[in-house]
Amino acid sequence: MRILLQRVTRASVAVDDRTVGQIDTGILALVGFGQTDTPALPDSPAWPKMLDKLLNLRIFPDDQSSFNRSLLDMRGDLLLVSQFTLYAECKKGRRPSFSTACPPDTALQLFNRFVADAKSRAPAHVATGTFGAEMHLDLTNWGPVTILLDSEQM
């Protein structure tokens, strides 16, 4: 499982020119699953670690402008968007291969579970994109701050 998170002042996701999710200050998280991720992943130690890291990573400023506050501390919003391309392999040729990405049926189950678990713990509004759809993201990255979390490194 990989999460590419961005600290944002606002973000939205649209499908077919219709906004399906939007947030104010918080985190936009692109969430992808790899071929080795199975339906048992939510029961593994990596799952709560990834969720905890996403919600508690101190990437928001305190009164002295240091990275000392988390999404939970800020009571910030969360936008979760499925993103299989986080598993792109670009070693050969010029066209990325996605053979290391999770099969769509399993990825959908995992993404839906991650959304449900995030909603149960998130401090404020949680929005999502539409799994498998061509989505258009509009965001204002604050910082910029962009961080990659990988369950294999937890």
Question: How high is the pLDDT of residue 59?
Answer: 98
Which of 85, 100, 140, 146 is the catalytic position?
85
Contacts of 78 (CB under 8 A, 6+ apart): 23, 26, 27, 29, 54, 55, 71, 118, 122, 124, 125, 126, 127
143 and 7 in contact (C-beta within 8 Å)?
A: yes
Residue for token pair 């449900």: 116
Active-site residue, 83 included = yes
| Distance between CA atoms of residues 31 and 146, nearest Å | 13
Active-site residue, 153 included = no
Beta strands in the chain (DSSP E): 2-15, 18-23, 26-32, 60-61, 67-69, 77-82, 126-128, 136-150
Residue 110: which H helix or E strand, with range? helix 104-121
pTM given for the model? 0.96
56 and 78 in contact (C-beta within 8 Å)?
A: no
User: Within the chain, what is the greatest distance between any pair of CA atoms?
Assistant: 48
Per-residue pLDDT tens, the chain, 154 aa: give them.
Answer: 999 999 999 999 999 999 999 999 999 999 999 999 999 999 999 999 999 999 999 999 999 988 999 999 999 999 999 999 999 999 999 999 999 999 999 999 999 999 999 999 999 999 999 999 999 999 999 999 999 999 999 8
Which of 60, 83, 111, 114 is the catalytic position?
83
What is the DSSP secondary-structure string of 112-127?
HHHHHHHHHH-SS-EE
Active-site residue, 85 included = yes
Which of 6, 25, 60, 84 is the catalytic position?
84
Domains of the chain plus CATH, in order, are 2-153 (3.50.80.10)
